[in-house]
Amino acid sequence: MILYLRFNGNATAAYAITQQPDWLVYILLGEAEVRVSGHSVGTLRSDSFIGELTCFNGGAASATVTVTSPTRVFRISSAALVKLCARSPELRIEIVQAIRKDTGIKLVAANVQLSGRAANAGA
């Protein structure tokens, strides 16, 4: 089952996307905050994935992602994604490549954030 959700101006900005596990979510438009153990570790904006680390093989969420502005997302359950990709290996390749690119962008951002913290700690 594929769902298209639309969070408009009347939506509660505190909607936690990761409250519903086992989904791959793609932010089409909007913004969301990423928190780990209650600490803000980053912001996701348009063209970002949520749930990409566990969408194909399960597992617990590594962070809580909460919408912070009116946001439109595309989401697909992990089970539906696996079935879809089994029927279309070409689609799986495209999805995996898009996830790889997004993960690389997130790693670079995390490194920048960590190096900034290290510089501030040394000052």
pLDDT tens-digit readout, 61-103: 888 888 888 888 888 889 999 999 999 999 999 999 999 999 9
The domain containing residue 106 runs over which residues? 2-122
Measured in Å, how far apart are the chain's first and last C-alpha atoms?
A: 52
Q: What percent of the chain has pLDDT over 70?
A: 82
Model pLDDT, residue 120: 76
CB 45 within 8 A of CB 33: no
Q: What percent of the chain has pLDDT over 90?
A: 37
**3: β partners:** 75
Q: How far apart are CA 120 and CA 101, in angstroms?
A: 29
Residue 38 has phi, psi (to 5 degrees) of 85, -5
Domains of the chain: total: 1
Here the CATH number for the domain that contains residue 66 is: 2.60.120.10
